[in-house]
Structure 1
């Protein structure tokens, strides 16, 4: 069982896709909370810079490669001695009209967003089960797992699959005291969002329109998402599993 009295610095978190945007801030927040953090990604130069900046360990991994998830978890445990938290954050974006999307683009999106994430959950879950200490697995999904937006169908389907996996895995892994939850960000100020806004004919008007559609009247920051992940990773969330927390300023509540 997870010991609420255990010092945070004794716990280890693995954050996938932590080389930019939300992933960086999740890793940074967990380090600030006292966990030993391992980040993974395919861009070694960028990841090493992030790791040095926030005080984390970097382990390179292309999670779409066969056996990569098992190797990443094994390397994490070998380096840090244990694994208590997995944040399944690595994902690829996809936009395009559904009826015109080639099958290979669908497969590529699901390879990263679903198949690789499932493999990471399996590998981390086995390590946590075998260690007998329980653990926390947090899947980063999206508000798009729950709503329909034109051109986002394939991406939405991949995140919807992870939402369904979260609830089923939570029930299956509960006997091992492994909690599985999801965090579903809404529109968030990531480099991808900033690039999209900059491409619009009137960026200021676009940003105003997006914010106006959100009850809290602002775009989320990566730190907003990271704070929710940090809570679910903490002993304070020891009785929470199988849930999805939207970090969307009330958008889905409308």
Structure 2
């Protein structure tokens, strides 16, 4: 059955791919982007693909006027995908950068989900929120702590929301991508080098870069994103499914082993 789906952060990467894929599957999609140039670019792509059911609007999740306008849309599913990434050692990162990452990745998605949930409850009808989390919401590699800490927080909030909103027939799910090559991880790692200074910081730039390369500079860190896009489309489209959706399976297995090992980890 066709659904009305609003997706945030659709200006590039997973968001753009999912928006196009959902529209191609016959759903009515409102794809939102952070800035106006992304609106124009995605509208042009939709026109080239003949997707009359793909509407593109601006929605900066930190802009209260954009959020107010978005709440006027009549939707069945909110796909909360917008996010930013800060990387680098948490032992020295300026806390203001971490706070900014939490504003975009945690507080703004929670606020938007709250508002749509209240709208659905007031209207007496079901709804669903899908949050784009990360494999990093379930473990913490050194150097990626600033970003993955936001996803750990999002996982906790999503789990709480799932229990609280179930009585109102509002479903909550997360999608947890592995290390797919969308460009997000690569540009995120660059953020650390605008503040890391070898003359001032005890974390040295070369060591931090080597850590990044070990995780995302290898084939396992540069997976084809279409696999994840297909999984996201399936989660958004289905009326039921798992609460947490980690892709690929090899990453799910690794995360389970990592979580089990945490109980015997010594320092």
TM-score, L = length of structure 2: 0.76
User: Which range moves more in the overlay, 174-183 or 187-196?
Assistant: 187-196
Cα gap change, 1:247 to 1:37, in 2 (>3 Å): same
State the match for 1:4 in structure 2: none
State the match for 1:251 in structure 2: 251
Per-residue CA distance 1:86-127 (angstroms, 9 max, x = gap): 111100011111111112101110110001111111122123
Report how far residue 208 of structure 1 moved.
Answer: 9.6
Output the CA distance in 1 between the equivalents of 2:188 and 2:84: 15
Output the CA distance in 2 between the equivalents of 1:138 and 1:190: 20
Q: 1:27 aligns with which of 13, 19, 22?
A: 19
Aligned: 1:210 with 2:218: yes
Unaligned runs of 5+ in 2: 190-205, 255-267
Provide the alpha-carbon RMSD of the alignment. 2.7
Aligned: 1:115 with 2:107: yes
Output the CA distance in 1 between the equivalents of 2:98 and 2:246: 25
State the match for 2:77 in structure 1: 85
Output the CA distance in 1 between the equivalents of 2:229 and 2:76: 17
Pairing 1:134-213 to 2, within 5 Å after superposition: 134-193=126-185, 210-211=218-219
**Secondary structure at 2:78 match in 1:** strand
Report how far residue 43 of structure 1 moved.
Answer: 1.8
User: Which range moves more in the overlay, 88-97 or 120-129?
Assistant: 120-129
Contact residue 14 and residue 87 of structure 1 kept, 8 A = yes
User: Which range moves more in the overlay, 29-38 or 44-53?
Assistant: 44-53
Contact residue 179 and residue 216 of structure 2 kept, 8 A = no
Cα gap change, 1:15 to 1:125, in 2 (>3 Å): same
Unaligned runs of 5+ in 1: 1-6
Contact residue 174 and residue 244 of structure 2 kept, 8 A = yes
Contact residue 97 and residue 151 of structure 1 kept, 8 A = yes
State the match for 2:35 in structure 1: 43
